[in-house]
Amino acid sequence: MQRKYSPLDDLIINFDQAVRTVFGEPLSTGRADPSQNLMDGEMDAAEKQLSARLMRINHAGEVAAQALYQGQALTARSVQVQENMKRSALEEHDHLRWCQQRVTDLGSHVSFLNPVWYLGSFTIGSVAGMVGDKWSLGFVAETERQVVAHINDHLSRLPEPDQKSRAILEQMRQDEAHHATVAVKHGGVPLPKPIPWLMQQMSKVMTRTAYWV
C-alpha cells in the first residue's frame, strides 16, 4: 500500500529535493551518462569555454525544470498528475547530473545563481499547479517545447569536436519531447498566447545570465 504523506511531509520532502538539486547529489533513475563511451576531438581553449558555458546554461535550465515539476507536484489536485510530475522530475535529475559532470569535465562551474533559478521556478510551478491540472500540464508541455527549441539551438552552436556534450543534449532533447507528449496526453491544454511569450522572455534572462555567471 502506498504511503500517504501529510502536507508537512510534502514540504520536508520538497526542501530535501531543493537542497539536493542546488547543492548536492539529486536522486535519479540511474541511467548511464550517454556520453560515457565517447571520445572528444581536440578542442582549443575558446571551444572548451563555449561548450562549458552552453552546458552551464543547460544545467541551470534543469535546475529550473526540477523546481517547476516539484512545485507543480506539490499543488496538483490529481494524484495521477502528481505522480507524472514526480516521474518527470526524476528523469530530469538524470539531465542535471549529466550536465553538472560535463561542466566539471570542461573545467568550469555551474551557475552561481542556481538558488535564484530554483526559487523563482518553484514559485511559478506552485502557482501553475494551483490554477488547475489541465493548465499545469499545458504549462509543462509548453515549457518542454521551448526547451527542445533551446537544445536545438545549442546543438547548432556546440564546437564540432565536442561529441560528449552533443550526446547528452540529444538524449535530453528526446526526453523533453516525451515529457511534452505525456503532458498533453494526460489533459494539458494550450496556454493563452501571452503566456508562452512571457515564458520565452524569462528564459532569455536566465540563459543570458547563466552564460556568464
Query: What structural domains and CATH numbers belong to the chain?
Result: 7-18+44-212 (1.20.1260.10)
Say whether 59 counts as a known binding-site residue.
no
- pLDDT tens by residue, 176-198: 999 899 889 888 999 898 989 98
**3-state SS assignment for residue 153:** helix
Whether the Cβ atoms of residue 111 and residue 211 lie closer than 8 Å to each other? no
In whole angstroms, give the CA distance from residue 64 to residue 70: 10
Q: How many CB atoms lie within 10 A of CB 157?
A: 11
Whether the Cβ atoms of residue 34 and residue 168 lie closer than 8 Å to each other? yes
- pLDDT tens by residue, 19-66: 667 776 666 667 889 999 998 889 999 999 999 999 999 999 989 888
Share of the chain above pLDDT 90, in %: 49
- In this predicted structure, what is the pLDDT of residue 26? 65
Say whether 186 counts as a known binding-site residue.
no
Say whether 176 counts as a known binding-site residue.
yes
Say whether 47 counts as a known binding-site residue.
no
Say whether 95 counts as a known binding-site residue.
yes
Q: What are phi and psi of 104, to 5 degrees?
A: -65, -45
Residue 18, pLDDT above cutoff 80: no
